[in-house]
Structure 1
Amino acid sequence: MAAKIVNRGLLRIGQQASQSTNYNVARYIRTMSVDDGTAAFAAAHTALNSGGAITNEYDQAFDATPTEASQTITHVCTIPTGQGNFTIRRIALHDDTAANVTTSSATLVAGVDGQSIGKTADFSLQITLTITYADAS
């Protein structure tokens, strides 16, 4: 399993934090997706299908406003029984509304790949993703 904040995500986070030239108040991390793509996330990826075709994808807004503790932000999303029923290989965060997130939308911020979660209509699935921001020096 690998977790990756892609280059576009790093730029978006910096823009939001500093409200720089291309700052956009409407573009913040607010949607989670799951898909059956097998390609690992790479720094240059901007969309879910940047690494190859995806057959199944499901996305929705977070259950509630992400919470924070120190430098860690926690994002929670519940996939209901009737949705996302396939083998989940990747989980991702996006900086747009769920209505605008698709496999090819340039909304990808970060993701976790290498999963194998068998989701069926028999249950809902709550996913929690955390990002801890740290000084790289």
Structure 2
Amino acid sequence: MPRTLRFRVGKLIRDRLPAIMQADGLTTFERALPLRDFQAALAAKLVEEAREAAASGTRAELVEELADVAEVILALTAAHGIDAAEIEAARIAKRAARGGFDGRVWNDAVAAPEGCPALDYYLARRHAYPQEGE
């Protein structure tokens, strides 16, 4: 008799995947998450799907990965009781205040004299914004 191999997955998956995997001969070990764990798993899934979208090599792959990102965003908003109109209003307000990405603007660095209050943001986030020349 062949030995059974078991692999740890440990991530949120789409609802119909257990049935699809079982039809392929796999035994699945799934459970429904409590809301707080579900919200955290969705946040992790958003990062996973965003990384996959960033790594996509073709237009078709990008479309598929962006569809996954969109699905996770819809689930994440619903899990937090956020209405899509609320997100759209925030998006429009941010675009009005700060602009969009139409200009393809890339910022290489910022500089200011010591003591400038605007530097506090960057100094508090050295992991994201390393100081040059250090």
What TM-score bracket applies, with the shorter chain setting the length?
Answer: under 0.3
**Higher RCO (CA-CA < 8 Å; seq separation 6+):** 1
**How high is the TM-score relative to the length of structure 2?**
0.19
Structure with the largest fraction of helix: 2
Structure with the largest fraction of strand: 1
**How high is the TM-score relative to the length of structure 1?**
0.19
